[in-house]
């Protein structure tokens, strides 16, 4: 059974394609049920966001899954694989492990370091478990990926460095005022940028919101989203007396806030600091405003410079994050490879139990042991066998975790099969107990051969 990833993302598909694959959150359980019906999928997790549509699965023939997934894309999503073909990618085994961990750590996101994707991965995992999609292998992978995502967020600064104009504005506001708790903000104009900036300010602690716009209805709509109050545009100068922070983004061709307006407002404010964020082009705030005492003015270029500087810093943190994700990938792959040793260890334990039974039979025959004595002897022999097998099992586990372990494990299995033929009634006292020594010698020779081959 092999791990695979099958899907597309913002890196391979334009929004016109991605939006056709959008699945409302309430329909995700049904989509998972449809995937569970596809033959050849032993385990499956579906991650569907605005920027990616990916299926993580376990199958014995992942290369042929595009044909198996045809009904899902055609009937459930209304889009044919031929349309998706140029945008799809497939990863297998180690590449899938690394990809899933990079996704959960936001290293594969459109905005590296964004926080939303980790929650989306958790939700996809939860739905898959509830619908019977995630089994032992995918559950382990998703758990490790979520751990990797948390580790990246806590051990690097990738998520703490703002990289957008809006978050740069909040960063500046916090430098001027310290905490934004209890502060107020006035938004002049209701463009997309001003709304986004207001959203970040509120998230940072702004408690009182005012909005003004030439169209009062639009101002009221935006103010209502944050429990704020709309103010008439004609009273803009008087409105400047109220807030700590002013965000401007209008379509005006000339400044709507002049030096004289701010000077009069500052007198009414009794020199209380005023922070102006002008993200309009052309500018909404006259440049000479910045010359006034206790007034802090930043325009779109200032914010863009800060955002670009922060982006470079975030990319440096991303390099550190990549190393941590690689460590998590190697830990998972080591665990995954160790699964190959389970049948072998079971056979070792079975052979050990067979030897114990054989030795008890010999003792019973020679000494005429009753049931109580047999039980005591059996307990002692099983304890000895456990100690003898401990080293062999540890050796098998250690070998199985290595990348080139398959041939070595096959040699060990041959040794176990061979020594199992030695388990027969002993013809002399010297032969009694020699079977386990034989497997010890064979295991030692296999390990020695492996070491010699490496050299």
Q: CATH number, domain at 78?
A: 3.30.460.30
Enumerate the β-bridge partners of residue 80: none
- At 163 the pLDDT is 77
Residue 357 in this model has a pLDDT that exceeds 50: yes
Same domain, 92 and 200: no
Is residue 401, in this structure, part of any structural domain at all?
Answer: yes
Same domain, 405 and 429: yes
409 or 281: whose pLDDT is higher?
281
Is residue 61, in this structure, part of any structural domain at all?
Answer: yes
pLDDT tens column, 288-315: 999 999 999 999 899 888 888 888 888 9
pTM of the predicted structure, to 2 decimals: 0.66
Known active-site residue 328: no
Residue 138 in this model has a pLDDT that exceeds 80: yes
Residue 418 in this model has a pLDDT that exceeds 70: no
Sign of CA dihedral 396, 399, 404, 408: negative
d(CA 190, CA 310): 26
Residue 445 in this model has a pLDDT that exceeds 70: no
The rounded percent of the chain whose pLDDT value lies above 90 is: 48
Is residue 311, in this structure, part of any structural domain at all?
Answer: no
Give me the domain span that covers residue 239: 165-302
- At 426 the pLDDT is 44
Residue 207 in this model has a pLDDT that exceeds 50: yes
Q: Which of 103, 124, 155 is the last residue of a domain?
A: 155
Is residue 108, in this structure, part of any structural domain at all?
Answer: yes
Sign of CA dihedral 369, 371, 376, 378: positive
Round the average pLDDT of the chain to a whole number and report it. 84
Same domain, 25 and 89: yes
The rounded percent of the chain whose pLDDT value lies above 70 is: 85
- At 308 the pLDDT is 86
Same domain, 41 and 173: no
Residue 415: pLDDT band (50, 70, 90) is low
d(CA 269, CA 317): 42
Is residue 402, in this structure, part of any structural domain at all?
Answer: yes
Least confident window among 138-147, 153-162, 228-237: 153-162
Same domain, 9 and 145: yes
- At 191 the pLDDT is 81
d(CA 48, CA 35): 13
Is residue 392, in this structure, part of any structural domain at all?
Answer: yes
- At 19 the pLDDT is 85
pLDDT tens column, 101-110: 999 999 998 8
Same domain, 232 and 211: yes
Q: Residue range 140-164: average pLDDT?
A: 90
Q: Which entry of 1, 17, 38, 50 is annotated as an active-site residue?
A: 50
Is residue 160, in this structure, part of any structural domain at all?
Answer: no
52 or 422: whose pLDDT is higher?
52
Q: Which of 155, 177, 201 is the last residue of a domain?
A: 155
- At 5 the pLDDT is 94
Between the CA atoms of 268, 269, 270 and 273, what dihedral angle is there, to the nearest 10 degrees?
Answer: -150
d(CA 219, CA 381): 85
Find where tokens 């993200």 sit: 279
- At 54 the pLDDT is 95
Concatenating the DSSP letter of every residue in 352-369 gives HHHHHHHHHHHHHHHH--
Is residue 321, in this structure, part of any structural domain at all?
Answer: no
Same domain, 182 and 137: no
Same domain, 143 and 184: no
The enclosing domain of 250 has a CATH number of: 3.40.50.720
Same domain, 143 and 175: no
Same domain, 298 and 364: no
Q: Which of 248, 273, 302 is the last residue of a domain?
A: 302
Domain count, the chain: 3
Q: Residue range 87-112: average pLDDT?
A: 93
Same domain, 280 and 233: yes
d(CA 143, CA 121): 10
């Amino acid at each position: 059974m092999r791990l695979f990833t099958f899907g597309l993302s913002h890196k391979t598909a334009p929004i016109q394609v991605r939006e056709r694959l959008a699945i409302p959150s309430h329909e995700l359980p049904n989509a998972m049920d449809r995937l569970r019906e596809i033959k050849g999928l032993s385990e499956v997790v579906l991650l569907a966001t605005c920027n990616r549509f990916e299926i993580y699965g376990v199958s014995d023939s992942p290369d042929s899954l595009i044909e198996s997934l045809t009904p899902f894309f055609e009937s459930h999503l209304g889009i044919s694989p031929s349309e998706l073909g140029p945008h799809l990618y497939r990863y297998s085994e180690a590449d899938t492990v690394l990809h899933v961990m990079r996704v959960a750590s936001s290293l594969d996101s459109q905005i590296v370091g964004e926080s939303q994707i980790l929650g989306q991965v958790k939700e996809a995992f939860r739905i898959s478990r509830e619908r019977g999609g995630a089994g032992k292998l995918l559950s382990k992978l998703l758990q490790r990926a979520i751990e990797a995502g948390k580790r990246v967020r806590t051990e690097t600064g990738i998520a703490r460095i703002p990289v957008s104009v809006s978050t740069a504005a909040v960063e500046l506001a916090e430098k001027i005022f310290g905490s934004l708790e209890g502060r107020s903000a006035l938004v002049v104009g209701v463009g997309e940028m001003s709304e986004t900036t207001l959203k970040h300010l509120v998230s940072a602690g702004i408690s009182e919101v005012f909005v003004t716009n030439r169209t009062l209805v639009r101002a009221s709509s935006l103010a209502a989203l944050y429990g704020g109050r709309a103010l008439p545009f004609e009273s803009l100068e008087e409105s400047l007396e109220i807030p700590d922070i002013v965000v401007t983004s209008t379509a005006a061709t000339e400044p709507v806030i002049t030096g004289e307006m701010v000077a009069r407002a500052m007198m009414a404010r009794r020199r209380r600091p005023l922070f102006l964020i002008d993200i309009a082009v052309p500018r909404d705030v006259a440049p000479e405003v910045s010359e006034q005492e206790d007034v802090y003015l930043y325009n779109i270029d200032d914010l863009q410079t800060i955002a670009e500087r922060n982006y470079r810093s975030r990319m440096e943190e991303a390099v550190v994050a990549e190393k941590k994700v690689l460590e998590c990938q190697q830990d998972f792959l080591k665990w995954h490879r160790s699964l190959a040793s389970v049948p072998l260890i079971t056979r070792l334990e079975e052979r050990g139990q067979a030897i114990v039974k054989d030795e008890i039979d010999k003792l019973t025959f020679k000494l005429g042991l009753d049931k109580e004595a047999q039980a005591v002897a059996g307990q002692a022999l099983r304890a000895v066998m456990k100690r003898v097998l401990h080293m062999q099992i540890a050796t098998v586990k250690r070998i199985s975790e290595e990348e080139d372990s398959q041939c070595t494990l096959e040699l060990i299995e041959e040794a176990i099969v061979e020594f199992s033929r030695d388990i027969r009634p002993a013809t002399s006292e010297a032969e009694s107990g020699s079977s386990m020594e034989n497997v010890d010698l064979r295991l030692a020779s296999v390990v020695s051969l492996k070491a010699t081959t490496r050299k």
